[in-house]
A = this chain, B = another copy of it.
Amino acid sequence: MASENVVKKLMRFFRPRSVAVIGASTKPGKVGNAVLRNLIDGGFKGKIYPVNPKAKEILGLKVYNRIKDIPGEVDHAFIAIRADTIPDIIPDLAEKNVPVAVVISSGFAEIGNHELQRKLVETARSYGIRIIGPNTYGVYCPPASLSSSFTIPYDYKGSLAVICQSGGVGMAALGYARIKRIGLSLNVGLGNMADLDHADLLEYLGEDKYTKAIALHVESIRDGRKFIRIASKVSKKKPIIVLKAGRTELGAKAAASHTAALTTIDQVVNVAFKKAGVIRAYSLEELFELGRALAMLPKPKGENVLIVTSAGGLGVLLSDACYDNNLRLMEPPEDLVSEYRKFIPPFGSFKNPMDITGSSTPDMQARAVKTAILHPEVHAIILGYWHTIITPPMEFAKSVVEAVEEARSKGVEKPIVVSLSGDLEVLKAAEYIEEKAGIPAYPFTPEKAVRALGALYEWARYAK
C-alpha cells in the first residue's frame, strides 16, 4: 500500500532517532546554522548530523563532510543547499535509508524553475524518498521536541496540528500559537508542495496519537478525490478545519500568480468539504481559533445547549450567535429551573439564557455552573461572565475551575465554552480557566466562544 507507506515514512520522519542537516553552516544567521541552533535549543534528544564539505565542528557538533560518512541510518533529512545540487545527493540519502526530506532551499517552481522541481521529485521518488517542500520554512514537532526549521523553536506541546501551504501563513500560525499558548502536535510548511500534500499529512495525522484536531491552510488541492477520500475517513476520528485561500475571484487570481496553483469553483469545494465532514474557516484567525478550541473540547452527547450568564446583554449576543451557528437552546427542564430558583434572585431569568444576574456571588456562580454540568439533559454549556465588584474575574475563574473539577471527579465531562466581559483582569481570568480546566475562554468576544461550540457540533454531527 503506497499510502500506508507514506504514513510509516512520516512516522519515522516526525519521530526521528536521527536528523541530518545537509548544508549545515558555520555562519550564524544562515539557514544551515539556525536549524542546528533550533534543534539544540528545542531540546531534540536524538542524534544530529551536520553535513558540510569543509567544516569540522559547528555549535559543538561533529560535522560530516559527506552524507556517506554519517554512521547508521537517517530518519529525518533537512536540506538547505543550492537548489540545482539537490537531485544529485538523493542517492546518498537513499543509502542512509532516509524516508522523507524537507527541502528548505528556494529556486524551484516559485521562480519559474518547474523543470528542476520535477527532477527533484522524480529522482527522490525513484529512490523511495518523499519530499516536503521545496521552498518551505520547515517542520515543528513539539512532542518530539523537534524544531526542524530556520526560525525560532516552538516547544509548547499540545494536540493541535497545523499544516500551511504558505510561509507567511505558517509564521502567523506560530506567532498566534505562541501568544495564545496553543499546544501543538505538529506544524508543517508545505512550501511549493511538489510531492507530499495536505492529503498525505492528513492520513498521517489520522494515526498520530498526539493530534486531536487538525487545521489546514489550503491554497490548492492537487488531487481532489484523494483529499476528499482521506478527509472523510480522518474526520470521523478528528475534526479537520480548513481555510481555503483563493476562494473568491480576486483571491484565485492572486493565487494563480503566487503559486500557479489551480483553484476550484468555491461552491464545489463547499459541497465536497461538507460531504467529507470538513469544517470551513473564513479567516486565518478563525482557522487558528477553531483549531485551538476543537483540540480542547470533548464531543457532545446531544443537542441540548444551555447558556448561563450573569449579564443579560451578553445573553442576547450569545443567543444571536447560537442562532448563527445552528445551536439548539434547550427549554430548561423544570427540575433545573427549580434548582436555580433556590439561589438566584427572582429578577433573574429562568429561561435560556439562564440569567443569574450581576448580583451573583462567586458561590452562586460556582453553584450555577455545577448545577448545569451535572444535569443529565444538558449536553453543552455556554458561560457568560460580567465583571462586577461582587464577583471579580479571578473569583469567577476559580468558581468555574472548581465546578468543572467536581464534575470531572464524578465522571461528568461536557463541552463548555466561556465568554468573559469586563476590564483588563478578564484576560488573566480567561488564561486561568484555559490553563487549569482546559476549557476555551474568550475575553470580550462572545461570538467567538459560540462559534467554537458551533464548529464542534458541526463536526460531531458528522462524526456521530
Contacts and interface: CB of A to CB of B under 8 A. Distances in A.
Contact of A422 (B172, B248, B283): B172
24 contacts: A165-B313, A167-B313, A168-B310, A168-B358, A168-B422, A169-B313, A175-B423, A176-B444, A243-B317, A245-B320, A247-B320, A250-B319, A250-B322, A254-B312, A254-B351, A255-B316, A257-B355, A258-B313, A258-B349, A259-B312, A282-B447, A283-B446, A285-B445, A288-B444
A168 B284 contact: no
A172 B421 contact: yes
Given A175-B426, A283-B447, A448-B285, A315 B152 contact: no
Interface string A302-340: 000001001111111111111110000100000000000
Given A311-B166, A421-B168, A245 B284 contact: no
B283 A319 contact: no
Interface stretch (A118-126, A364-372, A382-390): A382-390
Nearest to A282: B447
B175 A387 contact: yes
Interface in A274-297: 282-285, 288
Interface of A: 29, 110-112, 150-152, 164-169, 171-172, 174-176, 178-179, 217, 219, 243, 245-251, 253-255, 257-259, 282-285, 288, 307, 310-324, 329, 347, 349, 351, 353, 355, 358, 384, 386-387, 389, 421-424, 426-427, 443-448
Contacts of A166: 311-314, 316
A37 to B, nearest CB: 13
A262 to B, nearest CB: 13
B167 A250 contact: no
Nearest to A442: B285
A422 to B, nearest CB: 5
A66 B151 CA distance: 68
Nearest to A447: B283
A315 B166 CA distance: 10
Contacts of A317: 169, 243, 245, 251, 283-284
